[in-house]
C-alpha cells in the first residue's frame, strides 16, 4: 500500500482506518505529539559481588521531543522521534506499530539479529508489534503484545532482547544483552514508558544475569509550539533522505534470515557516515546509489 507522509499529528479520525479496536486507536494516538520527557534509570540488584550499589539521583530536567507520525497504512503506523535538547535538534529513534504482524526478528547478541519463524494468524490475532529503530534506522528491538484496558489503565507490555542502549555501550562492556520488559501506560496527559531490564552476559548459548535495572521514561504532553524547532527540522528533503535509508534496511531484511552489523567503518559509526552523505544534498539515483553503497559496508546478511 502506498505510504502517506503526514505533516501534522495523527488524529483519532485518521487512526480508525488501521486498527480493529478503539482502545488501540486511542493508545497509539496518545503516543504522538509534543512532549517534555524525563529519563531515569537505576540498577536495583546485582550479581556482581565487587560492585557497590549506590542509588542515583532522579533526573527531573526534561527535554522536548516530538513524536511525529510520518507514515500510515491500514495496519501500520510509523512514528519518528525528534529530540530538542541543549539547543540542538536531533533525529532520534523511530518506532513502527504493526497490526497482527507475523514476522519478527530477535536480537541474538554481538550485533546480530535472527528472523523468527513466521507466526500463525491465530497467534497474532489482535496484537500490535512495536519495532524500535536506532537513530540510523538500524534495528534495536521488536516485540508483540495486545493493548490492554484493565483497572482504569490502558497499557502494552512485552519482554524482548536488545543490544546495549547508547547510555550504556558508550561507557561499559561487561554485559552484551539487555532483556527489556517494556510497559507503555497511557495516562491523562501523555504516557509512561516503564522498564524492568536484566543485563545479561550471553556466552556459548548460556545466560548469566549481571544486574537488574528499573527505568522510568515519563512523556508529558505540552503545547505544540514547544516543538516548532523539531517540526522545522523535519523538512521534506530530510524525510525523503531517511525514507531511502529505511528502504535499504527493508530490502536487506526482507531477503535475509540473519543480519549482522559492523559498529564502525574507517572510524565512523553508521549514523555519522549517513549524516555526511545527507549533507552532500544528492538527489535521485545518485543519492540512492550513495546510500546503498555506504550501508552495504556496515550490513552483512545471510
Q: What is the pLDDT of residues 251-270, one digit of tens each?
A: 999 999 999 999 999 999 99
For 14-62, the pLDDT digits (tens) are: 444 444 688 898 999 999 999 999 999 999 998 887 777 667 788 889 9
Longest CA span, the chain: 57
Tell me which of 234, 252, 279 is where a domain ends. 234
C-alpha cell at 40: 531515569
- Residue 203 maps to a domain: yes
Q: Which three cell numbers stand for residue 163?
A: 543490544
Q: Report how far residue 139's alpha carbon sits from residue 253's, in angstroms, rounded to the nearest whole number.
A: 10
Do 259 and 280 belong together in one domain? yes
* Residue 122 and residue 19 in one domain: yes
- Domain of residue 95 covers 12-234
Is the pLDDT at 63 greater than 60? The verdict is yes
- In order of 130, 136, 252, the CA distances from 105 in angstroms are 11, 18, 13
Per-residue DSSP letter, 227: G
DSSP state of 9: P
Question: Could you tell me if 218 and 251 lie in one domain?
Answer: no
Question: CA 86, CA 287: separation in Å to the nearest integer?
Answer: 31
Same domain, 78 and 161: yes
What is the Cα gyration radius of the chain?
19
Q: Is 35 within a domain?
A: yes
Percent of the chain, pLDDT > 70?
92
Answer yes or no: is pLDDT of 232 > 90: yes
Helix axes 270-279, 284-298, angle to 10 degrees: 170
In a domain, 5, yes or no: no
Amino acid at each position: 500500500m502506498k505510504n502517506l507522509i503526514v505533516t501534522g499529528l495523527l488524529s483519532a479520525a485518521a487512526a480508525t482506518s488501521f486498527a480493529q479496536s478503539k482502545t488501540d486507536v486511542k493508545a497509539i494516538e496518545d503516543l504522538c505529539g509534543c512532549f517534555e520527557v524525563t529519563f531515569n534509570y537505576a540498577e536495583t540488584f546485582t550479581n556482581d559481588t565487587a560492585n557497590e550499589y549506590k542509588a542515583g539521583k532522579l533526573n527531573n530536567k526534561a527535554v522536548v521531543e516530538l513524536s511525529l507520525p510520518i507514515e500510515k497504512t491500514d495496519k501500520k503506523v510509523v512514528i519518528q522521534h525528534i529530540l530538542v535538547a541543549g539547543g540542538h535538534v536531533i533525529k532520534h529513534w523511530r518506532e513502527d506499530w504493526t497490526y497482527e504482524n507475523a514476522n519478527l526478528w530477535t536480537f541474538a547478541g554481538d550485533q546480530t539479529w535472527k528472523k523468527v519463524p513466521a507466526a500463525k494468524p491465530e497467534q497474532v490475532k489482535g496484537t500490535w508489534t512495536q519495532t524500535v529503530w536506532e537513530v540510523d534506522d538500524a534495528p534495536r528491538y521488536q516485540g508483540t503484545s495486545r493493548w490492554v484496558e484493565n483497572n482504569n489503565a490502558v497499557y502494552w507490555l512485552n519482554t524482548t532482547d536488545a543490544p546495549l542502549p547508547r547510555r550504556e555501550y558508550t561507557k561499559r562492556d561487561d554485559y552484551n544483552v539487555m532483556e527489556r520488559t517494556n510497559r507503555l501506560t497511557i495516562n491523562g496527559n501523555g504516557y509512561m514508558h516503564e522498564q524492568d531490564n536484566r543485563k545479561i552476559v550471553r556466552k556459548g548459548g548460556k545466560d548469566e544475569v549481571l544486574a537488574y535495572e528499573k527505568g522510568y521514561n515519563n512523556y508529558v504532553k505540552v503545547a505544540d509550539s514547544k516543538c516548532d524547532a523539531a517540526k522545522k527540522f523535519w523538512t521534506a528533503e530530510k524525510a525523503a533522505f531517511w525514507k531511502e535509508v529505511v528502504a535499504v534496511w527493508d530490502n536487506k531484511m526482507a531477503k535475509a534470515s540473519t543480519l549482522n552489523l559492523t559498529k564502525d567503518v574507517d572510524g565512523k559509526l553508521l549514523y555519522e557516515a549517513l549524516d555526511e552523505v545527507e549533507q552532500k544534498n544528492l538527489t535521485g539515483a545518485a543519492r540512492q546509489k550513495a546510500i546503498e553503497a555506504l550501508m552495504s559496508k556496515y550490513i552483512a546478511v545471510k
